[in-house]
Amino acid sequence: MIVGERKPMGEILEMIAPHEKVLLLGCGTCVTVCLAGGEREVGILAAQLRIHAKKEGKDLQIEEHTIERQCENEWVDEIKSRVEGVDAVMSMACGVGVQLVAEMYPEKAILPALNTTFMGYPVQHGTWLENCRGCGNCVLHLSGGVCPITRCAKSLMNGPCGGSQDGKCEIDEDIECAWQVIYERLKSGGRLDWMNNYQPPRNWSTAGSGGPRKSVKIEEVVD
């Protein structure tokens, strides 16, 4: 899923300051599951903003609403009348959702409440780990199901660097060395050839270095 974290309160208050009526818009998909921008978090942030405004003696109306997905226009289209009634929309979706809301309501101030952090899964309740960088050229079938692009701090492709010790990455002892994990998995499966062989420089043009990416499923496109 796409993982996000709420922005620092100072930033949020600064964004909200010029507005008097704000729609706090949650998203029911990834950010609900990662406990960053679903209905519950909307309720909490809305209460915080109201308390702050009241404390400061400011007029601030916060409307709370959560839609199924902010990344698909059918859902975003449904909130038209709510958006029309406010000065600004503070979206608690990932950056994708924020951009679609901004695209569909270009005349409104659209404010991001979250920092979109990465794509990953939870390793325990409340802790998520980055697993995929969307590089557009997957090697997981070769790398024992562990992504070296994402989980190696240097995105190395030819095995661990000299900083790998006791299974830990040189940048932080809380980070496991992805290549240690890859090595163990490949070894146990008798598939070390890939790791032993020279891997040429990667094609990063599919990974965002080639510019903004677009995916077209030609069979689905309606002319």
Q: How far is the CB of 54 from other proteins (least distance, A)?
A: 5
Q: Which two tokens stand for residue 52?
A: 């702050």
Q: Which amino acid does the sequence have at 223?
A: D
Q: How far is the CB of 9 from other proteins (least distance, A)?
A: 4
Alpha-carbon Rg for the chain, nearest whole angstrom, is 22
| 47 touches other proteins by CB under 8 A | yes
- Is residue 156 exposed (0-12), middle (13-18) or buried (19+ Cβ within 10 Å)? middle
| 202 touches other proteins by CB under 8 A | yes
Q: Give CA angle at 93 (110, 74), nearest 5°.
A: 85
User: In angstroms, rounded to a whole number, what is the distance separating the alpha carbons of residues 100 and 189?
Assistant: 44
| 9 touches other proteins by CB under 8 A | yes
| 52 touches other proteins by CB under 8 A | yes
Q: How far is the CB of 206 from other proteins (least distance, A)?
A: 9
| 211 touches other proteins by CB under 8 A | yes
Q: How far is the CB of 44 from other proteins (least distance, A)?
A: 5
Binding residues for other proteins (CB under 8 A)? 8-9, 13, 40, 43-44, 47-52, 54-55, 57, 201-205, 207, 209-211
